[in-house]
């Protein structure tokens, strides 16, 4: 039995474990164990969003049990203290773990550069716990300030220093600057009383970006009310002050909060390993081109713990998420090759695709592309790219489950418009207001299905006449335009052809699917709203508003059965004429009575079931989806009057959670979700959401 142990459940550790589990899924002689002190994986790049109250804490936490469900990965919750490389054992607080191959992916921790008081009096932002602690601290500062009478104490409580102007530093400063006006409004504090500072010894923000973008970040933060103190050194931090030096002069500033994002170094266990193994650059372990320790070929290193300078580069690989992803894939491959002797070891040749920075939820800066060809993106595209990259990562880690959660936290329940699309996607309408519309839509579908049964759709084929009558009406109107006939006499002559083609089908036309919404005459029920009354075409002059041929793939046809001056919304009809659809119907449906009858039974049954489901509020999401499909079928076969299009848009409104209020879904869906996500296959492919 070959034992692979991974220390650390960060980006690199999780991806390495999943990729190894996939490679060895049919190998019972190889085990994969991941050890982490927490029971969950943390999205470290999103910590600032929780710290500044933009998203809930659940949005950055992913259970290891969910991540590794149905996979050959054993998760162990333990704090690793040391590794005995000679005996190949990992020592934790709870136990000892033997290994044949070890992956060091323990990540990083804040480094304080021996600055007096920095570790004791500042609040770091480098873990889930840090984000929660900082969020509560910020809220508490505003609570205390709102009740504080002493102006000096009040000012100190409302003064915040963010130390570090790298990626995490500027993102935290931007998030806090966006959050402050919301807190000021909540606690009735004048925004002018709040002071925000971003301090760094470097001359510009995010130095791994071009100077132009660094300047752009600085301007944006200053516009948001952040005072940028660059070329400034932190000398000391106390319980209520921070000493800063710009040049030779040291000045003391009162402050209520110092947020420390001034730099990182390898985790404790990695630093301890560096006491016996070669390391460099704040205890990062030195590796060869295969990401093995240069001192121990059974030890692989992934993510932030790597110290490796790729061929042709002058700097070691950066400590960023993309490095974690690419190194994880390489480590998993090379371990697989080492154990199975299948294939060749691969050299680490990372190709990084850029840097993205968000300054609050609404503004971003990005430089992305391919090595040797990078472009700067405007704010909207920068934010879109950032979210898209996050979604790609979530697809690897927890599939649909996490993607759904991320979209909900970042867009669909966001408050105070803290998103790059503002609050336009947020759910602000109470769901109970949809109940009357749901009931009416269900009643219309139920009525439609019952009327078709009354008209014999279960007993005789009717689609031939049904489609022919509708097509004849559209063709008559299109013929008017083509021939340039603009008089009532010419229109009547053309319309006569439509009547001749549809006379035998008059009864069938009288019950077209989409007539459910409005009976135009006593003789025409559902079809009057879906296909139009044929007699109307005979006695009036129609108008063609649109007849566009889109690349020969389909036609968009928009007409009125009357002159425009006399038309009401019930006279306008729209059709998507799709040649492939027409060929299918003419070849496989209309020539065979039994196929027509089967399709009729399906349509009628679907309408009745949709109606009952919507009225009862049961399975509203699949019912609404089927409703949309049926409406699309009608648009592409008979066309639809505009007076029937409300059903399409109403079905869209019903797609998500409309039955959870005054409906059976309130009781049924939670039970189904609970049972569904217990299924092994469902958990393995993450095809559920919490």
CATH code: domain of residue 28: 3.50.50.100
Q: What is the mean pLDDT of residues 594-618?
A: 96
Same domain, 517 and 630: yes
Q: Tell me whether strands 249-254 and 96-98 are parallel, antiparallel or unpaired.
A: unpaired
Whether 310 is covered by a domain: the verdict is: yes
Burial of 592-627, coded b for 16+ CB within 10 Å and e otherwise, reads eeeebbebbeebbebbbbbbebbbbbbbbbebbbbb
What is the C-alpha separation between 508 and 323, in angstroms, rounded? 65
Chosen domain end from 288, 321, 340? 340
147 vs 469, residue with greater confidence: 147
DSSP 236: E
DSSP 289: T
Q: What is the mean pLDDT of residues 111-128?
A: 96
Q: What is residue 166's predicted lDDT score, i.e. its pLDDT?
A: 95
What is the C-alpha separation between 439 and 421, in angstroms, rounded? 32
At 348, the pLDDT band (50, 70, 90 cuts) reads very high
Tokens 């089908």 sit at which residue? 505
Kindly report the backbone phi and psi dihedral angles of residue 335, in degrees, each rounded to the nearest multiple of 5, phi listed first. -65, -40
**Residue-wise pLDDT tens digits, 463-505:** 988 888 888 888 888 875 444 333 333 333 333 333 333 333 3
Answer yes or no: is pLDDT of 126 > 70: yes
Same domain, 131 and 17: no
Q: Which of 125-134, 437-446, 664-673 has the lowest mean pLDDT?
A: 664-673
- Report the Cα 600 to chain-centroid distance in Å: 39
Within 13 A of 416's CA, how many CA atoms are on the CB side? 17
DSSP 348: -
Answer yes or no: is pLDDT of 617 > 80: yes
Provide the 10 A C-beta neighbour count for residue 165: 29
Q: What is residue 338's predicted lDDT score, i.e. its pLDDT?
A: 97
Specify the 3-state DSSP secondary structure of 356: strand
Structural tokens at position 156: 């100190």
Same domain, 242 and 280: no
Q: What is residue 526's predicted lDDT score, i.e. its pLDDT?
A: 38
Same domain, 150 and 33: no
**Residue-wise pLDDT tens digits, 193-205:** 999 999 999 999 9
Same domain, 277 and 258: no
Whether 660 is covered by a domain: the verdict is: no
Whether 383 is covered by a domain: the verdict is: no
Q: What is residue 376's predicted lDDT score, i.e. its pLDDT?
A: 95
Tokens 């009040």 sit at which residue? 154
Tokens 């607080």 sit at which residue? 93
Please tell me the total count of domains within the chain: 3
Q: What is residue 497's predicted lDDT score, i.e. its pLDDT?
A: 36
Provide the 10 A C-beta neighbour count for residue 25: 11
Of 491, 528, 492, give the one whose Cα is nearest residue 507: 528
Whether 491 is covered by a domain: the verdict is: yes
Distance between start and end Cα atoms, the chain:
36
Within 13 A of 101's CA, how many CA atoms are on the CB side? 26
User: Is 245:233 a contact under the CB 8 Å cutoff?
Assistant: yes
Whether 164 is covered by a domain: the verdict is: yes
312: region left, alpha or beta (phi > 0 left; psi from -120 to 50 alpha): left
Residue 6 Cα distances to 331, 385, 562, angstroms: 11, 31, 74
At 419, the pLDDT band (50, 70, 90 cuts) reads very high
**Residue-wise pLDDT tens digits, 543-578:** 999 999 999 899 999 999 899 989 999 999 999 999
Same domain, 492 and 557: yes
Question: In percent, how much of the chain has pLDDT > 90?
Answer: 80
215 vs 689, residue with greater confidence: 215
Same domain, 234 and 313: no
Whether 539 is covered by a domain: the verdict is: yes
Answer yes or no: is pLDDT of 328 > 90: yes
Question: In percent, how much of the chain has pLDDT > 70?
Answer: 91
Same domain, 274 and 258: no
Q: What is residue 485's predicted lDDT score, i.e. its pLDDT?
A: 34
Same domain, 155 and 291: no
Q: What is residue 540's predicted lDDT score, i.e. its pLDDT?
A: 47
What is the C-alpha separation between 379 and 400, in angstroms, rounded? 27
At 130, the pLDDT band (50, 70, 90 cuts) reads very high
DSSP 94: S
Structural tokens at position 393: 């990562």
Chosen domain end from 200, 232, 262? 262
Q: What is residue 499's predicted lDDT score, i.e. its pLDDT?
A: 33
Structural tokens at position 616: 């009862």
Domain that holds residue 137: 118-262
Answer yes or no: is pLDDT of 506 > 50: no
Q: What is the mean pLDDT of residues 599-625?
A: 96
Same domain, 62 and 196: no
Q: What pTM, to 2 d.p., does this model score?
A: 0.82
Answer yes or no: is pLDDT of 515 > 50: no
CA 71-392-3 angle, 5° bins? 30
259 vs 465, residue with greater confidence: 259
Q: What is residue 358's predicted lDDT score, i.e. its pLDDT?
A: 96
Q: Which of 41-45, 325-329, 464-468 has the lowest mean pLDDT?
A: 464-468
Q: What is residue 541's predicted lDDT score, i.e. its pLDDT?
A: 59
Same domain, 103 and 141: no
Answer yes or no: is pLDDT of 535 > 80: no
Whether 178 is covered by a domain: the verdict is: yes
Q: What is residue 688's predicted lDDT score, i.e. its pLDDT?
A: 86
Same domain, 474 and 509: yes
Q: What is residue 281's predicted lDDT score, i.e. its pLDDT?
A: 85
What is the C-alpha separation between 329 and 219, in angstroms, rounded? 38
Q: What is residue 91's predicted lDDT score, i.e. its pLDDT?
A: 98
Question: How confident is the prediction for the chain on average, in pLDDT?
Answer: 89
Within 13 A of 655's CA, how many CA atoms are on the CB side? 10
CB neighbour class for 119 (10 Å; exposed up to 12, middle 13-18, buried from 19) = middle
Instruction: For the chain, give percent helix, strand, coil, nearest 5.
Output: 50, 20, 30
What is the C-alpha separation between 672 and 623, in angstroms, rounded? 16
Q: Strands, DSSP E only, in 522-612?
A: 543-550, 554-560, 572-577
Chosen domain end from 340, 355, 370? 340
Q: What is the dihedral of CA 446, 448, 449, 450, to 10 degrees?
A: 80
Whether 71 is covered by a domain: the verdict is: yes
- Which residues 6+ apart lie within 8 Å of 390 measured at CB? 45, 46, 406
Q: What is residue 480's predicted lDDT score, i.e. its pLDDT?
A: 53
What is the C-alpha separation between 109 and 10, in angstroms, rounded? 12
């Amino acid at each position: 039995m070959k034992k692979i142990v991974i220390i650390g459940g960060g980006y690199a550790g999780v991806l390495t474990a999943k990729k190894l589990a996939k490679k060895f899924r049919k190998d019972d002689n190889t085990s994969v164990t991941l050890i982490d002190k927490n029971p969950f994986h943390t999205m470290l790049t999103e910590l600032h969003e929780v710290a500044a109250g933009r998203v809930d804490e659940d949005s950055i936490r992913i259970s290891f049990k969910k991540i590794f469900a149905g996979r050959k990965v054993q998760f162990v919750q333990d704090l690793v203290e040391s590794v005995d490389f000679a005996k190949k054992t990992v020592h934790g607080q709870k136990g000892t773990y033997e290994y044949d191959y070890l992956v060091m992916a323990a990540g990083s921790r804040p480094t304080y550069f021996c600055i007096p008081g920095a570790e004791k009096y500042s609040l770091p932002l480098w873990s889930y716990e840090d984000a929660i602690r900082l969020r509560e601290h910020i809220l508490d500062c505003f609570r205390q300030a709102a009740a504080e009478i002493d102006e000096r104490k009040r000012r100190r409580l409302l003064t915040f220093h963010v130390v570090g102007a790298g990626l995490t530093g500027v993102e935290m400063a931007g998030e806090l600057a966006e959050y402050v006006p919301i807190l000021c409004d909540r606690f009735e504090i004048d925004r002018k009383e709040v002071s925000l500072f971003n301090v760094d010894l470097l001359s510009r923000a995010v130095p791994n970006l071009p100077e132009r973008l660094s300047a752009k970040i600085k301007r944006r933060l200053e516009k948001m009310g952040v005072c940028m103190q660059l070329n400034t050194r932190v000398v000391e931090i106390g319980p209520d002050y921070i000493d800063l030096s710009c040049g030779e002069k040291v000045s003391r500033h009162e402050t209520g909060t110092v947020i420390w994002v001034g730099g990182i170094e390898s985790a404790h266990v990695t630093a301890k390993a560096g006491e016996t193994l070669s390391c460099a650059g704040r205890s990062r372990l030195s590796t060869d081109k295969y990401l093995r320790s240069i001192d121990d070929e059974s030890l692989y290193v992934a993510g932030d713990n790597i110290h490796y300078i790729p061929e042709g580069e002058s700097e070691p690989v950066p400590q960023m998420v993309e490095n974690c992803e690419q190194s994880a894939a390489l480590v998993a491959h090379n371990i697989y090759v080492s154990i199975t002797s299948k294939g060749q070891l691969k050299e680490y040749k990372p190709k990084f695709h850029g840097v993205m920075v968000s300054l609050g939820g609404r503004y971003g800066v990005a430089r992305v592309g391919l090595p040797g060809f990078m472009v700067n993106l405007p704010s909207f595209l920068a934010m879109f790219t950032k979210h898209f990259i996050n979604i790609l990562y979530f697809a690897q880690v927890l599939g649909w489950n996490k993607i759904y959660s991320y979209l909900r936290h970042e867009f669909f329940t966001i408050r105070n418009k803290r998103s790059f699309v503002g609050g336009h996607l947020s759910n602000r309408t109470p769901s109970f207001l949809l109940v009357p519309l749901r009931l009416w839509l269900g009643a219309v579908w139920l009525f439609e299905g019952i009327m078709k049964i009354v008209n014999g759709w279960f007993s005789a084929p009717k689609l031939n006449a049904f489609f022919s009558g509708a097509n004849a009406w559209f063709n008559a109107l299109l013929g008017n335009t083509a021939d340039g006939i603009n008089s009532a006499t010419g229109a009547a002559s053309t319309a006569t052809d439509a009547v001749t083609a549809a006379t035998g089908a008059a009864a069938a036309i009288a019950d077209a699917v989409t007539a459910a919404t409005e009976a135009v005459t006593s003789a025409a029920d559902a079809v009057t709203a879906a296909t139009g009354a044929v007699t109307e075409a005979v006695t009036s002059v129609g108008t063609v508003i649109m007849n566009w041929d889109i690349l020969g793939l389909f036609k968009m046809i928009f007409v009125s059965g009357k002159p425009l001056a006399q038309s009401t919304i019930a006279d306008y009809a729209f059709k998507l004429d799709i040649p492939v659809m027409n060929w299918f119907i003419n070849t496989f449906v209309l020539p065979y009575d039994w196929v027509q009858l089967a399709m009729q039974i399906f349509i009628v049954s679907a309408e009745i079931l949709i109606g009952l489901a919507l009225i009862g509020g049961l399975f509203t999401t699949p019912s609404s989806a089927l409703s949309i499909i049926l409406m699309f079928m009608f648009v592409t076969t008979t066309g639809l009057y505009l007076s029937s299009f409300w059903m399409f848009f109403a079905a869209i409104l019903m797609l998500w959670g409309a039955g959870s209020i005054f409906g059976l879904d309130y009781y049924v869906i939670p039970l189904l979700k609970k049972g569904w996500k217990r299924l092994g296959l469902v958990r393995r492919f993450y095809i559920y959401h919490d």
